[in-house]
Amino acid sequence: MLPRRSTRVTSSAATTAQKAADTEKAAAPKKDQAASGSAVKELEAKLQAAQLGSDEKPKPKKQKEYLNPLPSPPQSVRPAPLLYVWGAGNAGQFGMGVEVLDELQRPQRNKLVEKMADDGKFGAKGAGLQTVAAGGMSSLFIDEQGTIWSCGANDNAALGRDTSDIPDPENEGAFLDIDALSSVPYPIQSLVDEGFRAVRAAAGDSIAAAISIEGEMKVWGTFRAMEGLLGFSGNQKHQYLPVPVLTLKSKPGDVEKFVDVAAGNDHVVVLTTHGNVYTWGVGERGQLGRKVLERHKITATTPERILLGKRTNMAVAVGAGSYASFAVDTAGDVWGWGANSTGQTGTGFVDGNTDREIHMPRRVAGLSAEELGDGEQVVQIAGGDDHTLFLTSEGRVYSCGLSIGGQLGLADDDDAFEDRTFPDFLDKPALVTFPDEDDHIIQISAGPRTSMAISRDGVLYMWGEGSQSELGAGPTEMLKVPTVLVRKEGSYAAVMGSCGGQHALALLKQRQK
């Protein structure tokens, strides 16, 4: 119970004091109310500011620095590089129309592509091609706009576009000729419509993939196993138009993307910004780096991450042979897996029962950064059916695998053959010697039994074995050592090239006078 308020009258002094106290008490609530009102106004101001800011999008977190940066967009080069082709063109893979389907024994200029450049088909007038990728019987070209053009065999969807039952706009009820549509480069229109600007492309026998400047990846085609068609995925035999097949992890400030891709005959290897490696396709010979059960082979068409020894080993480069795969980690160690019956993974061959197929990544002998020394490390890897090429940061090339077809680029009296264990192959990489020992190689490529290298000075070398003119050296069917196809002293310099199943492509630019 609260005490009653006192009403007793005191002396005058006490009365005066009491009045003063009462006055002070009366004033106190007014001060409290003023302070309270100020706080309310301050709170209202904050709420109003918050409300005004609620319509603004929050600033995104800054993307953390990538281990592997996104590829640079295509550059404008004038005059544009010229496309040269050689080998077998029976499926239209030269992109020169139905008039040129025969073998070309020596590099020939693609004048149709040259005219397309003059007509502004690749962007501004005079714009040309930036990248080429040769598949089994198909070709992919990327222009400076990032548009992918394709030509060649399309019976297994390798072109990324339809070439059958296309209505003829000039003849009602008629259809455009399939050969004409496949032997001339046409853009993959679905990618153009999506705004997909490609910077990387890889082509296998009937599978193809591309990566954009934004780090997206699209894939099309199909996979073929030893006994026949495996399919593109569990519910799709052929994928005629490009589609995404893998979603990477994503969170604010940490969005993983794709940076590079390589293709074997029927498998794909892809590298991400975070150093992760994914594989999918046919895994019958261990090329996926994981176990694939015979009765569940179709599940291998779903991409899965593979480990390079342990989870913390991140990759900075990937490559592929016809039936093998490769990666380089941040420490500079090189890893290989897949078909190894002729030592083509470079991981050694000791036991014929266990080393013919390598189902989990193993270190490649002799090519680690530590073994190479002086900061040198492997930066690019390309392989054929039975051999592999390794390019280092110092412009040197190493090779391993089958040696009887000249694809290793080693002379008969090369030191690597002196103490070798096996008469027909090298199971560990050996250094390739070029005619000009000072040549710094900047790019390599490999066909089933052929090899290509391009130097910093624009020299293009070929070697290996080819019965369909894929060496580009006339009627010659074997070159045991690197042989000059494009000379240093010539009017043109090679800038890039690609070996396909039985054909080859190269981009050449005019030398500065």
Residue 246 lies in a domain: yes
- pLDDT for the residue numbered 64: 78
Residue 49 lies in a domain: no
- pLDDT for the residue numbered 25: 42
State how far Cα 37 lies from the chain centre: 64
- pLDDT for the residue numbered 249: 86
Residue 104 lies in a domain: yes
Residue 347 lies in a domain: yes
| Residue 180 phi, psi (nearest 5) | -65, -35
Continuous segment of H or E residues that includes residue 46 = helix 12-53
| Residue 247 phi, psi (nearest 5) | -105, 120
- pLDDT for the residue numbered 353: 77
Residue 186 lies in a domain: yes
Alpha helices in 199-313 (DSSP H): none
End-to-end CA distance of the chain: 109
In this structure, what token pair is assigned to residue 267? Answer: 């498998």
Q: How many CB atoms lie within 10 A of CB 486?
A: 22
Q: Is 361 in contact with 307 (CB distance < 8 Å)?
A: yes
Residue 223 lies in a domain: yes
C-alpha dist (Å) from residue 441 to 380, 445, 496, 500: 11, 11, 11, 20
Ranges under pLDDT 70 in the chain: 1-61
- How many domains, the chain? 1
Q: Which residues span the domain enclosing 366? A: 82-510
Q: Which residues contact 207 (CB under 8 A, 6 or more apart)?
A: 158, 219, 220, 221, 222, 223, 263, 266, 267, 268, 281
Residue 7 lies in a domain: no
List of E strands, 101-253: 104-109, 129-134, 138-143, 148-152, 186-187, 198-203, 207-212, 217-221, 224-225, 228-229, 239-243, 250-251
- pLDDT for the residue numbered 347: 97
Per residue in 120-169, pLDDT (tens digit) is: 999 999 999 999 999 999 999 999 999 999 999 999 999 999 999 888 88
- pLDDT for the residue numbered 195: 98
Per residue in 302-313, pLDDT (tens digit) is: 999 999 999 999
Check the CA dihedral 234-235-240-245 and report its sign.
negative
Measured between alpha carbons, how far is 230 from 221 in angstroms, rounded to an integer? 11
Residue 59 lies in a domain: no
Is the preceding peptide bond at 169 cis, omega within 30 degrees of 0? no
- CATH no. for residue 472? 2.130.10.30
Measured between alpha carbons, how far is 353 from 346 in angstroms, rounded to an integer? 17
Q: Is 397 in contact with 383 (CB distance < 8 Å)?
A: no
